[in-house]
Amino acid sequence: MSTGRRIFVAVGVLSACLVGAASAQAQDTIKVGLIISMTGQQASTGKQVKAGVDLYLQRHGTSVASKKIQLILRDSASVPDNTRRLAEDLIKTEKVDVLAGFEITPAALVVAPLATAAKTVEVVMAAGTSIITERSPYIVRTSFTVAQSCVLIADWAAANKIRKVVTIVSDYAPGHDAEQSFTERFKAAGGTVAEAIRAPLAGPDFAPLLQRAADAKPDAIFIFVPAGQGSLFMKQFAERGLDKSGIKLIGPGDVTDDDLLPTMGDAALGTVTAHLYSADHDSAMNQAYVAAFEKAAGFRPNFMSVGGYDGMHLIYEALKKTKGKADGDTLIAAMKGLSWESPRGPVSIDPETRDIVQNIYIRKVEKKNGQIYNVEFATFDAVKDPVKAAKK
């Protein structure tokens, strides 16, 4: 062999070794791409989810099933088009094993075809429209469906002398789910909906909508706004004197978001909602969760935080089951049917729909030791998404 050819062969062998080393290293690392809104309109949701994820890693370490867990954070800036671009890049360049996060339904939906094409598991930690999990066989959800809470607050309203309601919802997919699931159930129980009002998702002004609602003289206003908009709604509700008008405020618990509740003041007192999580949830696990979360993050956890925390738990437990195998088909199969104790109470992943099954609590906003909380007073066990259940 000539000297030139010998060098050529040696370089070839060396680069083959380097490629081998790189792929061995890659196989030892499970990459989780977390795409969430750290800035923009849904920044409060992003911060909650991220803090939930961080707390899980802090408590459970960054290795599981002999694999190192690498978290790759990308800020969607609350723009679903960014989410799509970032997901494409994480799949192609970083070769992530799992995509996670998604602060809002449109963000979860734009990633669905990418997850399917790449056979990559998509863990939806924050969005709540029922159809999301039907958009890809690789989607699993640790957040909630809006309808899970809306049907139960409809039952509560009908059983508590509320006959006439005006609904106000954000005008996009989860708001439409909220309006429909509440209205169907409330009407079936004999109630009437005097008006169905929709508010824009971006930059809503609730004042004229609340006036319209009040003019219809309902027993209650049913409200759905996504996490982060509750304090503006409550401020405008109080400015019109509606908190003292005798018109009750009901809805899923997004409006009395634990994160914002301390800033809402007395106007929020008495609001009755149905939801999956309260920082006041009475369990030893939750008390420890709230204390550790507040210490690490510096703010109170809300229902979005447990979507992040439980999403990481789901990934860890599935990896234990697969002994570290992380291809999409193996991982999603391992996730189906998993159940565990969450700070919110017992939860599981429905093996048929890949949606979360969880307790829904009826709560009233009350002051406790000078602080405002959603105080739970009734529990509905193991609630499945009612929209999918009705399709069967």
Chain residues in the site for ligand PHB (CB under 6 A): 104-105, 127-129, 146, 174, 226-227, 254
Nearer to ligand PHB, 86 or 104 (CB): 104
Residue with the CB atom nearest ligand PHB in the bound state:
226
**Residue 100 beta carbon to ligand PHB: minimum distance, rounded to whole angstroms:** 15
Nearer to ligand PHB, 105 or 353 (CB): 105
**Residue 104 beta carbon to ligand PHB: minimum distance, rounded to whole angstroms:** 4
Number of residues that this document lists for the chain: 392
**CB-CB contact of 104 with 82 (8 Å):** no
**DSSP track, 86-130:** HHHHIIIII--SEEEE-SSHHHHHHHHHHHHHHT-EEEESS---G
Structural tokens at position 232: 């503006």
Q: Which residues contact 308 (CB under 8 A, 6 or more apart)?
A: 48, 49, 50, 51, 52, 53, 56, 101, 125, 126, 142
**CB-CB contact of 169 with 198 (8 Å):** yes
* Count of beta carbons in the 10 Å neighbourhood of residue 266: 11
**Residue 306 beta carbon to ligand PHB: minimum distance, rounded to whole angstroms:** 13
**Residue 54 beta carbon to ligand PHB: minimum distance, rounded to whole angstroms:** 20
CA distance 380 to 293: 26
Nearer to ligand PHB, 128 or 204 (CB): 128
Nearer to ligand PHB, 120 or 149 (CB): 149
Q: Measuring CA to CA, how many Å separate 196 from each of 25, 82, 350?
A: 56, 32, 32
**Residue 365 beta carbon to ligand PHB: minimum distance, rounded to whole angstroms:** 17
Nearer to ligand PHB, 261 or 326 (CB): 261
